[in-house]
């Protein structure tokens, strides 16, 4: 078992958000011979535990497949849950039963000669893409994409919420097949918590899912969407590998769920890059109120030389450095804070995988909103916000929970600390 202890970059003993977490490595997406993969559940879990040395793994066979009328037998779902329980040993290895909600346009109508209609629902076809569903305790029933009560992301989220489970958006696509993948209400984001950044399915049997998933996910974030980032092999060879890191206090199924539910996780594409990102002492995945300026603290423990640490804000690179070392620490204050922004960090190393792609890590975003936005502007138009934020300190507001001055709190530096790399540059993310 491999664990790495992350220590907060800035320590304030009284702040509970600065508790220490372990980094646990896992894979959140993979198939067995139950659907269209190879090998048994035993093969899958033993490979994850003994060959890949994972701390946790989720198995996600399809609920429905292409070979109509194939569907996952009830017995297979029961066995999946039984095996996940058998392989889970607190403190050593966590196995989770899940499945892939496999929505397909042919459930609405005929969409082409190669995809014959299995019309179940009225109206034009929906391109919801696939979503992984996983639950902490046994449920008898699959919330499947072919059931009217679970046929849309919102309906699925409502059903899974009641079962205490979570959902991930799989292999996001910028093409027509992903047209409706983000079509769900903001409230469903508390169940549809994460999105795959980089599944290995890109290389599976010549499939051509859009490669730049980061760009696709970012467009959702730019529209105000909320999602964390995970990675999954989507292995069909029964060979799960480390693609997701969660920050959790201990290695139990409950703790892994708790981390994923709060998006306290990040995606990796290959190497096990250890990444800590905090915004004003809050962990990745959080939505916070900010007094003063946003202060990002980034720590990277790479496995090879790091060639870029990029802070992305609202769709563009805000700041990036080329450390040229295996370990990097970066402190950055966003002096141009616009009152409401999301931030995430992307790390790129010099090493590559077998396909020639560099090892990368993507932190889940952190959403920051100026505390004074609500108190001062009262929800007024954004155009009013910016001048207000730059006004001199105001008199004390009536509420003790509303600080009198916009001066930074003790945990918020007033000026940017020295940047050890001094090679900042701005660019549009590609």
Q: Does 308 bind Zn ion (CB under 5 A)?
A: no
Based on CB atoms, which residue is closest to Zn ion, 243 or 282?
A: 243
Closest approach, Cβ 65 to Zn ion, in A, equals: 11
CB burial of residue 75 (10 Å; 0-12, 13-18, 19+):
exposed
Closest approach, Cβ 171 to Zn ion, in A, equals: 6
Q: Which stretch binds Zn ion (CB under 5 A): 46-54, 96-104, 172-180, 206-214?
A: 96-104
Based on CB atoms, which residue is closest to Zn ion, 100 or 299?
A: 100
Residue 31 contacts residue 61 (beta carbons within 8 Å): yes
DSSP secondary structure string for all residues of 228-263: EEE----BSSS-----EEEEESSSSHHHHHHHHHTT
CA-CA-CA-CA torsion sign (279, 283, 284, 286): negative
How far apart CA 247 and CA 106 sit, in angstroms, is 39
Q: Which stretch binds Zn ion (CB under 5 A): 42-50, 97-105, 345-353, 411-419?
A: 97-105
Candidates 47, 49, 106, 130; binder of Zn ion (CB under 5 A) is 130
SS3 268: strand
Q: Which stretch binds Zn ion (CB under 5 A): 41-49, 51-59, 228-236, 326-334?
A: 228-236
Closest approach, Cβ 209 to Zn ion, in A, equals: 9
| Helix runs in 9-142, H state only | 41-46, 74-87
Closest approach, Cβ 60 to Zn ion, in A, equals: 6
Based on CB atoms, which residue is closest to Zn ion, 102 or 341?
A: 102
Residue 30 contacts residue 238 (beta carbons within 8 Å): yes
Closest approach, Cβ 240 to Zn ion, in A, equals: 12
Which residue has the closest beta carbon to Zn ion?
A: 130
Residue 285 contacts residue 262 (beta carbons within 8 Å): yes
One symbol per residue from 145 to 184: x for binding Zn ion (CB under 5 A), - otherwise; what is it? -------------------------x--------------
Q: Strands 358-363 and 340-352, how do they pair?
A: antiparallel
Closest approach, Cβ 100 to Zn ion, in A, equals: 5
- Residues with Cβ within 8 Å of residue 283, at least 6 apart in sequence: 17, 21, 247, 262, 264, 277, 366
One symbol per residue from 185 to 224: x for binding Zn ion (CB under 5 A), - otherwise; what is it? ----------------------------------------
Q: Which stretch binds Zn ion (CB under 5 A): 98-106, 261-269, 328-336, 344-352?
A: 98-106
Q: Which stretch binds Zn ion (CB under 5 A): 215-223, 230-238, 289-297, 344-352?
A: 230-238
| Burial profile 161-184: b = 16 or more Cβ within 10 angstroms, e = fewer | bebebbbbbbbbbbeebbbbbbeb
Looking only at Cα atoms, what is the longest distance across the chain? 70
Based on CB atoms, which residue is closest to Zn ion, 182 or 344?
A: 182
Based on CB atoms, which residue is closest to Zn ion, 234 or 286?
A: 234
Q: Does 106 bind Zn ion (CB under 5 A)?
A: no
How far apart CA 331 and CA 412 sit, in angstroms, is 12
| Burial profile 324-362: b = 16 or more Cβ within 10 angstroms, e = fewer | eeeebebbbbbeebebebbbbbbbbbeeeeeeeebbbbb
Closest approach, Cβ 111 to Zn ion, in A, equals: 17
Closest approach, Cβ 278 to Zn ion, in A, equals: 32
Residues 256-275 that bind Zn ion (CB under 5 A): none
Identify which of 28, 63, 59 has the alpha carbon closest to the alpha carbon of residue 41.
Answer: 59
Q: Does 234 bind Zn ion (CB under 5 A)?
A: yes
Q: How many residues sit in the footprint of Zn ion (CB under 5 A)?
A: 4
Closest approach, Cβ 199 to Zn ion, in A, equals: 7
Residues that bind Zn ion (CB under 5 A): 100, 130, 170, 234
């Amino acid at each position: 078992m491999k664990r790495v202890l992350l220590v907060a970059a800035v320590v304030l003993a009284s702040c509970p958000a600065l508790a220490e977490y372990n980094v646990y490595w896992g894979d959140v997406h993979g198939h067995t011979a139950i659907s269209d993969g190879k090998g048994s559940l035993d093969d899958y879990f033993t490979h994850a535990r003994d060959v890949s040395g994972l701390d946790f793994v989720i198995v996600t066979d399809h609920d429905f497949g292409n070979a109509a009328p194939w569907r996952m037998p009830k017995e297979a779902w029961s066995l999946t849950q039984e095996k996940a329980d058998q392989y889970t040993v607190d403190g050593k290895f966590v196995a989770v039963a899940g499945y892939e909600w496999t929505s397909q346009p042919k459930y609405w109508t005929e969409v082409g000669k190669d995809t014959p209609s299995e019309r179940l629902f009225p109206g034009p076809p929906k391109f919801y893409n696939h979503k992984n569903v996983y639950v902490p305790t046994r449920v008898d029933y699959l919330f499947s994409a072919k059931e009217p009560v679970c046929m849309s992301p919102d309906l699925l989220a409502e059903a899974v919420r009641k079962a205490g489970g979570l959902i991930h958006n799989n292999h996001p696509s910028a093409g027509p097949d992903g047209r409706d993948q983000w079509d769900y209400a903001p409230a469903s984001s508390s169940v549809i918590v994460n999105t795959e950044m980089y599944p290995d399915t890109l290389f599976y049997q010549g499939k051509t899912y859009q490669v730049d998933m980061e760009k696709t996910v970012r467009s959702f974030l730019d529209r105000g969407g909320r999602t964390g980032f995970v990675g999954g092999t989507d292995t069909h060879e029964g060979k799960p590998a480390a693609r997701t890191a969660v920050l959790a206090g201990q290695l139990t199924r409950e703790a892994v769920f708790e981390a994923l539910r709060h998006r306290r996780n990040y995606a990796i594409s290959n190497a096990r890059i250890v990444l800590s990102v905090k915004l004003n002492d809050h962990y990745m995945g959080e939505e916070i109120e900010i007094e003063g300026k946003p202060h990002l603290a980034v720590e990277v423990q790479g496995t090879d030389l790091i060639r870029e640490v990029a802070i992305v804000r609202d769709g563009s690179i805000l700041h990036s450095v080329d450390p040229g070392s295996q370990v990097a620490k970066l402190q950055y204050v966003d002096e141009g804070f616009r009152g409401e922004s999301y931030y995430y960090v992307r790390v790129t190393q010099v090493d590559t995988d077998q396909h020639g792609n560099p090892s990368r890590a993507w932190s889940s975003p952190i959403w920051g909103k100026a505390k004074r936005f609500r108190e001062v502007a009262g929800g007024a138009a954004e155009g009013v916000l910016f001048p207000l934020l730059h006004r001199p300190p105001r008199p004390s507001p009536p509420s003790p929970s509303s600080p009198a001055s916009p001066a930074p709190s003790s945990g918020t530096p007033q000026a940017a600390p020295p940047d050890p790399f001094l090679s900042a540059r701005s660019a549009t993310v590609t």
